[in-house]
Amino acid sequence: MRSSLLALAVLAVMTGGCSVFGAKPQPSPTPETLVSKRGVSMPLEQAVREIAFRPYVPSAQLLDVALQPPLSSEDVPLGKVGKARGIAFEYSSHGVAMVLSEWPRGALSMEYNGFSLEGNPCTLLKYAPDSVLWTTRNDLVMTLQPDGRVKPKTVIAEAHRLLHSGACGVASVPKKKTKKLTPPRMSPRPASSSPPRSAS
């Protein structure tokens, strides 16, 4: 049941089945990108102020950036930080347009066909013939798919490249309190009554 809910949530967002923030249609980029059809396109600097997490930004030529509706909850109006809102990057990698989408996982159960992604971050899972998803060490959900037709192995290779370049995230490790150590006190040596003997 949970695997079906996860698949439906991801597919609904990825196919544009959710209304996006109740926003009026924006002028579309030229040419129209896949992320602009699913979300609200805006400059990267503005988009990162509308989400509640630090996204991984692909180190490739960005074609478009768009806010994405949440996977599992209601969103807030634009201009306010959406705690569950996602972000998507459309970019060019070796001449192929790719879409990397990211959301905070929140309370969403990440189990798909009996496989738990929660305990297995950075493990790629195919949820469509040419699309993969994974969770990160810092509790994000990421999906990768092409904008157009490409061989599935091209998407897998690109996903591995992203994971090796930082899309796996860094686990947040709580800072340990360091106890201040005081050096042990040295007691003075008792004075020797007789001089040391030389070896003969």
Q: Which two tokens stand for residue 49?
A: 């102020």
| Residues 85-98, mean pLDDT to the nearest whole number | 95
HSE-CB of 131 using CA atoms within 13 angstroms = 17
Split at pLDDT 50, 70, 90, the class of 106 is confident
On whether residue 6 sits in a domain, the answer given is yes
CB 121 within 8 A of CB 135: yes
Lowest mean pLDDT among 39-48, 112-121, 153-162, 186-195: 186-195
Helices (H), ranges, 30-101:
34-38, 44-47
Phi, psi of 141 (to 5 degrees): -110, 130
Domain count, the chain: 1
Q: Which residue has the tokens 């796996």?
A: 168
| Residue 180 belongs to some domain of the structure | no
CA distance 3 to 117: 11
Q: Are 72 and 107 spatial neighbours (Cβ–Cβ below 8 Å)?
A: yes
| Residue 189, in any domain of the structure | no
Window from 7-16, 60-69, 169-178, 189-198 with minimum mean pLDDT: 7-16
List the domain range (segments joined by +) for residue 150. Answer: 2-20+30-167
Q: What residues have CB less than 8 Å from 49, skipping those under 6 apart?
A: 81
Tell me the one-letter amino acid at 42: M
Does this model's pTM top 0.75?
no
Residue 179 forms part of a structural domain = no
Phi, psi for residue 77 in degrees, rounded to 5 = -60, 155
Decide if 182 is inside a domain: no
Q: H/E element holding 6? A: helix 2-14
Assigned domain for 192 exists: no
pLDDT at 129 over 90: yes
Cα–Cα distances in angstroms (integers) from residue 39 to residues 90, 94, 126, in the given order:
12, 25, 23
For residue 173, is it within any domain?
no
Establish if 147 belongs to a structural domain. yes
Element (H, E) at 4: helix 2-14
